[in-house]
Copies of this chain bind each other. A is one copy, B any other.
């Protein structure tokens, strides 16, 4: 099928028609840039039962000034991607309402230019934290602290506060017309790191799911450490009193002493709770024969939720972050597959959770998010977790993996 070229008047865009329509929205190598752009099934001459549209804008207000966002409406879900913030996913909406995401006290989509990651002893990242999907990496991740070499590692690394240098949108010209948004985010510091991540978001028109397929490349001639946490955050409407999380995992332990008190009830959530702050659990996920693990979060009535599929050979650990404090503080839970837990890097090396990426090597990270919209959806997702578990139970380990007292 040939998609007709309808972009003759948009000089900056480079549609390339091979097996897909490709639109380069940003490319630092060629200084290609489009300020405002939109396409749709109709405009592309694609005759689908589910019309879709993709729009790119630049924001201009307050701390949002200079932030690029891309909104993808696949007919069922409306995703907001943020190229300027490491290709993070701000939120997912359905039927005009947010279904995935949360209400952070940080209301703007903050341009990294306004963020000093090392401020507050490495907590500057908190000035911009409000997305549904935040990549925490790749040079390091975890809580801030001075590493063994004397360098402060700021909270959760730098990638989410790194603008993408290349952004393109592809629409497959064959049914089901998969939409792919690719963004390249480079962590390049002379003599320090040369990690480049090609992020890919794939979504099919009319479906209630989307996938992340990232490729991290060590472009240096030397091996390097890397760490990544896919910090996936969900608040209202899924999170509520009585909401529940299911995870195919062999064991769970408390992150610290405070979390010991919540270990037994790790699967269920409180409503917004004053003085709760945050409780964190470390899980060891297990997978099906294809290597996939599954985590499911659903509401109290078990008729709305989200499932996350990920590969345990790529992301061998899982953090569950229960931040069920009051609504205004940011009532939210994080379901966070990663190479690493949320401890500072220096604590994770002895645990074997700071892997190496060889010179020139590539690492792949594949995740699938599915919005569950009915009791049947939720029930089936929970069953899928049970299938992986094969009637085993998650073992509760009462002691944290790391002794943070010294």
Contacts and interface: CB of A to CB of B under 8 A. Distances in A.
Most B Cβ at <10 Å: residue of A29, A189, A190, A220:
A190
A113 to B, nearest CB: 4
Number of copies of chain A assembled together: 3
A66 B60 CA distance: 9
Nearest to A115: B116
List of 4 A-B pairs having minimum Cβ-Cβ separation, nearest first = A62-B165, A113-B113, A221-B326, A33-B60
Most B Cβ at <10 Å: residue of A112, A154, A186:
A186
A119 B121 contact: no
Nearest to A163: B62
Contacts of A57: 31
Given A60-B33, A113-B114, A116-B116, A190 B129 contact: yes
A143 interface: no
25 contacts: A26-B62, A27-B61, A28-B62, A28-B107, A28-B108, A33-B60, A61-B165, A62-B163, A63-B162, A63-B163, A64-B165, A105-B190, A106-B189, A107-B165, A107-B188, A114-B163, A119-B154, A123-B189, A126-B189, A126-B190, A126-B191, A127-B189, A190-B330, A194-B328, A221-B327
A104 B329 contact: no
A338 to B, nearest CB: 19
A111 B63 CA distance: 11
A346 B378 CA distance: 52
B104 A190 contact: yes
A170 to B, nearest CB: 18
Contacts of A28: 59, 61-64, 107-108
User: What bracket does the count of chain A residues touching chain B fall in?
Assistant: 35 or more
Interface string A314-332: 0000000000011111100
A190 to B, nearest CB: 4
Interface in A89-127: 104-108, 111-114, 116-121, 123, 126-127
A220 B62 contact: no
A47 interface: no
A16 to B, nearest CB: 18
A37 interface: no
Nearest to A118: B119
Contacts of A112: 114
Contacts of A330: 190-191
A135 to B, nearest CB: 16
A109 B219 CA distance: 18
A188 B31 contact: no
A113 B111 contact: yes
Interface of A: 26-29, 31-33, 35, 57, 59-66, 84, 104-108, 111-114, 116-121, 123, 126-127, 129-130, 150-152, 154, 162-166, 186, 188-192, 194, 219-222, 274, 325-330
A117 B119 contact: yes
Nearest to A330: B190
Nearest to A129: B190
A219 B328 contact: yes
Given A59-B31, A64-B28, A116 B118 contact: yes
A219 B105 contact: yes
A117 B120 contact: no
Nearest to A219: B328
Contacts of A328: 194, 219-221
Contact of A60 (B35, B106, B120): B35
A144 B186 CA distance: 24
